[in-house]
Structure 1
Amino acid sequence: MSLRFAVPEDLDRICEVEAACFPAGEAAPREVLAERLKACAGSCWLLEDGEVLAALINGMPTDEKDLLDGMYRSTGCYRENGRWMMIFGVDTAPAYRRRGCAARLMKRVIADAKAGGRAGVVLTCKERLIPYYERFGFRNEGLSASTHGGETWYQMRLTF
Structure 2
Amino acid sequence: MKIRKATINDLKELSRIERECFPVAEAATEEIFCRRLEVYPDFFWILENEAGEIVSFVNGMATDNEILTDEMFENPDLHNKNGDWQMIFGVNTLPKFRRKDYAEKVLRRVVEDTKKDGRKGIVLTCKDKLVSFYEKIGFVNEGLSESTHGNAIWYNMRMIF
**1:40 positional shift:** 1.0
Q: Distance in 1 between matches of 2:13 and 2:118?
A: 30
How far does the alpha carbon of each residue in 1:7-56 deviate from its partner, in whole angstroms, 9 at most, with x for none? 11100110111011000000001111111111013100000112211000
- Normalising to structure 1: TM-score of the pair? 0.98
Provide the residue aligned with 2:25 in structure 1.
25
Written as runs of structure 1 = structure 2, the 5 A alignment for 1:69-108 is 69-108=70-109
Query: Does 2:43 align with 1:46?
Result: no
Secondary structure at the counterpart of residue 64 of structure 1: coil
How far does the alpha carbon of each residue in 1:80-111 deviate from its partner, in whole angstroms, 9 at most, with x for none? 10000000000001111111110000000000
Secondary structure at the counterpart of residue 88 of structure 1: strand
How far does the alpha carbon of each residue in 1:69-88 deviate from its partner, in whole angstroms, 9 at most, with x for none? 00111113210100000000
**1:128 positional shift:** 1.0
Written as runs of structure 1 = structure 2, the 5 A alignment for 1:1-160 is 1-49=1-49, 50-160=51-161
Secondary structure at the counterpart of residue 11 of structure 2: helix
Structure 2: give runs of 5+ residues left out of the alignment: none
Q: Distance in 1 between matches of 2:21 and 2:76?
A: 22
How far does the alpha carbon of each residue in 1:119-151 deviate from its partner, in whole angstroms, 9 at most, with x for none? 000000001111100011111111111010000
RMSD (Å) for aligned C-alpha atoms: 0.7
Contact 2:128 2:154 in 1 (8 A): yes
Moved more, 70-79 or 117-126: 70-79
Q: Distance in 1 between matches of 2:137 and 2:95?
A: 22
**1:68 positional shift:** 0.1
Q: Distance in 2 between matches of 1:158 and 1:140?
A: 9
Q: Distance in 2 between matches of 1:48 and 1:38?
A: 21
Which structure's residues are more often helix, by fraction? Answer: 2
Contact 1:138 1:158 in 2 (8 A): yes
Query: After TM superposition, which residue ranges in structure 1, 4 or more long, deviate above 6 angstroms?
Result: none
Identity %: 44
Secondary structure at the counterpart of residue 91 of structure 2: strand
Secondary structure at the counterpart of residue 121 of structure 1: strand
Q: Distance in 1 between matches of 2:96 and 2:52?
A: 14
